């Protein structure tokens, strides 16, 4: 019996130790502060309420990261499935993210204005309805092992050279993407590099990053303040020769040669301001600009382009526009080009094709992508089933899509896909130009301005005379892997006939 009681007493002591219930709480508390550990507790107040994670979703096929433009819900507000949570700038447009869970928005992890948030990153936390959202369990950001931090901090303090240069930076092992600590707050890797390089003291600086993170911008501001307070002085060269070579003749020290004990420091550029050592200003690239650059590079490197051009007489279309205007029907020349291109694709289905990396794929629907310029870059909203729509319906669809593109409100399904793209620069006075095929599409049609030209024609009696024509130049860029030169030439010839005889458009 005594042995059993003794065994139970030992087990209870072990359990109390595991749960942090040791009578010597002061000693355990000091130990936890020394090694950076936290003991487990079983009470809900200390564990926190479990959260439903909100992560950055993929809102377009090419999206790799996004920017948080605006939160549409505040912390503490009730959220239902399908409610608009926030607006996210993708690589194509600003898209509203909807909630996939019910609950209360307990914590916003990525504030408005957060840039380059990677897919899968935690941007917010929900708790179930009825729970105290203020007690939500917030995941820890730093995952470094405590023993490594303590060991590294101790080794840093014992080094007189590093301590004299960087008195407040506790150097740890390099882990890309992880935050280091400095003077009581967290330090991003880029900021830590700037502080170490320039020997900056950040102890009296207030971090501006989310959750008290000392960011790269903070380090650059600190560097700028130091440069304003004390100009950089040239230091004489310090000899690093060993003692037995001290008697050898040495050349005169030159202030233009960097010191042997200190490597030259590359210039640090400040966003929005030209560096004193670099005659340029860094312009931050938006997600849309980065994707455009990637797609254009892919187009030039992977698509074997072929080009063909033709001049089309717009006389019949201009006359038809005047007749429609009498009935208060307003359509543009570009609307006729969209309709004629869609009808031509219907007549020649072999051109309504894309390349999927392995071979051609024939498309079932005819969707025309219209290249439109915005402040962030160009985007290609799509007019669905353009061959079945009338000219007036195409004009209304193009106008509505243009407005949504300028406002950044296009939905992913409104700009993804497409059979063929059309780019018109005629309003800028461009006679003709060449476009780049946007994979997986196989064609892009470019349109120049309408221009008046004189040509010799014969009348009914066979007499020659000069006649003025309104011409435009259309150029087809095609993917030679799926559309050869003969097929491209036939397509242009058929499109020219449809444009010069718009009555044919009503027959399809």
Q: Under a CB-based contact definition with an 8 Å cutoff, are residues 289 and 376 in contact?
A: yes
Residue 172 has pLDDT above 70, yes or no: no
The residue-averaged pLDDT of 176-181 equals 46
Least confident of 4-18, 345-359, 450-464, 488-502: 4-18
As a whole number of angstroms, the distance between CA 274 and CA 284 comes to 13
What does the pLDDT read at residue 25?
A: 40
The residue-averaged pLDDT of 422-433 equals 93
Which residue in 88, 74, 118, 82 sits closest to 101, CA to CA?
A: 82
- DSSP conformation class of 207: -
How far CA 256 is from CA of 88, 264, 272, in Å, comes to 50, 11, 30
Residue 16 has pLDDT above 60, yes or no: no
Residue 178 has pLDDT above 70, yes or no: no
Q: Is 177 left (phi over 0), alpha (psi -120 to 50) or beta?
A: left
Q: What is the pLDDT of residues 78-91, one digit of tens each?
A: 998 888 899 998 87
Its pTM surpasses 0.75: no
Residue 360, classed as helix, strand or coil, is: strand
Helix (H) / strand (E) element for 495: namely helix 485-500
What does the pLDDT read at residue 141?
A: 52
| Listed ranges 118-127, 260-269, 319-328, 339-348; the one with the highest mean pLDDT | 339-348
The residue-averaged pLDDT of 178-182 equals 49
What does the pLDDT read at residue 476?
A: 97
Exposure of 130 by Cβ count < 10 A (0-12 exposed, 13-18 middle, 19+ buried)? exposed
Residue 76, classed as helix, strand or coil, is: coil
As a whole number of angstroms, the distance between CA 339 and CA 395 comes to 10
Share of the chain above pLDDT 90, in %: 37
Q: In sequence order, which residues have a C-beta less than 8 Å from that of residue 371 and are 6 or more positions away?
A: 378, 379, 380, 421, 422, 423, 424, 435, 444
For the record, the structure tokens of 133 come out as: 């959202």
Residue 307, classed as helix, strand or coil, is: strand
Q: What is the mean pLDDT of the chain?
A: 76
Which residue in 441, 299, 438 sits closest to 366, CA to CA?
A: 441
- Give, rounded to a whole angstrom, the gap between the first and last alpha carbons of the chain: 100
Which residue in 57, 79, 86 sits closest to 126, CA to CA?
A: 79
Beta strands in 35-102 (DSSP E): 52-55, 65-71, 78-79, 84-89, 94-98
- DSSP conformation class of 324: H
Residue 154 has pLDDT above 60, yes or no: no
What does the pLDDT read at residue 109?
A: 92
What does the pLDDT read at residue 19?
A: 42
Which residue in 289, 435, 416 sits closest to 354, CA to CA?
A: 416
What does the pLDDT read at residue 217?
A: 81
Residue 486 has pLDDT above 90, yes or no: yes
Q: What is the pLDDT of residues 273-324, one digit of tens each?
A: 555 555 778 887 777 788 888 889 999 999 999 999 999 999 999 999 999 9
Backbone angles phi, psi at 217, to 5 degrees: -65, -40
**Checking DSSP bridges between strand 420-424 and strand 443-447, what pairing results, if any?**
parallel
Q: What is the pLDDT of residues 494-508, one digit of tens each?
A: 999 999 999 888 876
Residue 390 has pLDDT above 50, yes or no: yes
The residue-averaged pLDDT of 406-422 equals 89
How far CA 250 is from CA of 236, 240, 242, 244, 245, in Å, comes to 14, 12, 13, 14, 10
Largest Cα span, the chain: 132
Exposure of 449 by Cβ count < 10 A (0-12 exposed, 13-18 middle, 19+ buried)? middle
What does the pLDDT read at residue 485?
A: 93
Exposure of 184 by Cβ count < 10 A (0-12 exposed, 13-18 middle, 19+ buried)? exposed
- DSSP conformation class of 481: T
Which residue in 120, 139, 126 sits closest to 56, CA to CA?
A: 120
As a whole number of angstroms, the distance between CA 138 and CA 52 comes to 11
Q: Is 103 left (phi over 0), alpha (psi -120 to 50) or beta?
A: left
Band of residue 160 on the pLDDT scale cut at 50, 70, 90: very low
For the record, the structure tokens of 72 come out as: 């549409």
Residue 174 has pLDDT above 50, yes or no: no
Residue 338 has pLDDT above 60, yes or no: yes
Cis ω on the peptide bond leading into residue 440 (within 30° of 0)? yes
Q: What is the pLDDT of residues 181-203, one digit of tens each?
A: 555 567 777 778 788 777 787 77
Beta strands in 265-318 (DSSP E): 305-313
């Amino acid at each position: 019996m005594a042995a059993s009681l003794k065994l139970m007493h030992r087990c209870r002591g072990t359990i109390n130790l595991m749960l942090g219930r040791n009578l010597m709480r002061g000693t355990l508390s000091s130990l936890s502060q020394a090694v950076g550990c936290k003991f487990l507790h079983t009470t809900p107040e200390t564990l926190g309420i479990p959260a439903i994670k909100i992560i950055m979703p993929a809102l377009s096929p090419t999206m790799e990261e996004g920017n948080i433009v605006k939160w549409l819900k505040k912390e503490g507000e009730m959220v239902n499935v399908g409610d608009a949570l926030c607006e996210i700038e993708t690589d194509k447009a600003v898209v509203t993210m909807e909630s996939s869970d019910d609950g209360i928005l307990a914590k916003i992890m990525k504030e408005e204005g957060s840039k380059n948030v990677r897919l899968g990153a935690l941007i917010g936390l929900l708790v179930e309805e009825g729970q105290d959202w203020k007690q939500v369990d917030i995941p820890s950001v730093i995952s470094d092992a405590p023993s490594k931090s303590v060991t590294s901090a101790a080794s840093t303090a014992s080094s007189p050279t590093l301590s004299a240069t960087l008195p407040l930076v506790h150097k740890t092992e390099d882990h890309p993407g992880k935050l280091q600590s400095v003077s009581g707050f967290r330090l991003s890797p880029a900021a830590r590099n700037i502080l170490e390089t320039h020997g900056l003291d950040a102890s009296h600086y207030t971090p501006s990053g989310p959750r008290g993170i000392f960011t790269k911008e903070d380090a650059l501001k600190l560097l700028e303040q130091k440069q304003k307070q004390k100009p950089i002085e040239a230091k004489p060269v310090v000899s690093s020769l060993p003692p037995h070579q001290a008697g050898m003749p040495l050349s005169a020290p030159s202030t233009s040669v960097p010191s042997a004990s200190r490597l030259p420091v590359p210039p640090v550029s400040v966003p929005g301001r030209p560096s004193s050592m670099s005659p340029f200003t860094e312009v931050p690239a938006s997600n849309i600009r980065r994707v455009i650059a990637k797609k254009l590079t892919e187009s030039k490197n992977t698509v074997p382009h072929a080009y063909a051009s033709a001049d089309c007489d717009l006389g019949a279309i201009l006359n038809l526009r005047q007749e429609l205007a009498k009935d208060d029907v307003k359509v543009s020349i570009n609307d006729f080009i969209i309709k004629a291109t869609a009808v031509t694709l219907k007549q020649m289905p072999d051109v309504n094709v894309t390349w999927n990396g392995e071979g051609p794929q024939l498309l079932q629907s005819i969707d025309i992508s219209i290249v439109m310029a915005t402040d962030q870059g160009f985007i290609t909203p799509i007019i669905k089933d353009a061959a079945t729509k009338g000219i007036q319906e195409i004009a209304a669809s193009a106008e509505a899509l243009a407005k949504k593109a300028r406002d950044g409100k296009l939905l992913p399904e409104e700009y993804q896909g497409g059979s063929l793209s059309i780019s018109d620069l005629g309003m800028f006075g461009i006679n003709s130009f060449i476009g780049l095929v946007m994979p997986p599409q196989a064609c892009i049609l470019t349109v120049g301005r309408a221009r008046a030209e004189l040509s010799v024609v014969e009348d009914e009696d066979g007499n020659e005379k000069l006649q003025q024509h309104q011409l435009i130049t259309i150029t087809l860029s095609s993917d030679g892997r799926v559309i050869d030169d003969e097929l491209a030439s036939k397509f242009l010839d058929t499109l020219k006939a449809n444009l010069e005889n718009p009555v044919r458009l009503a027959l399809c």
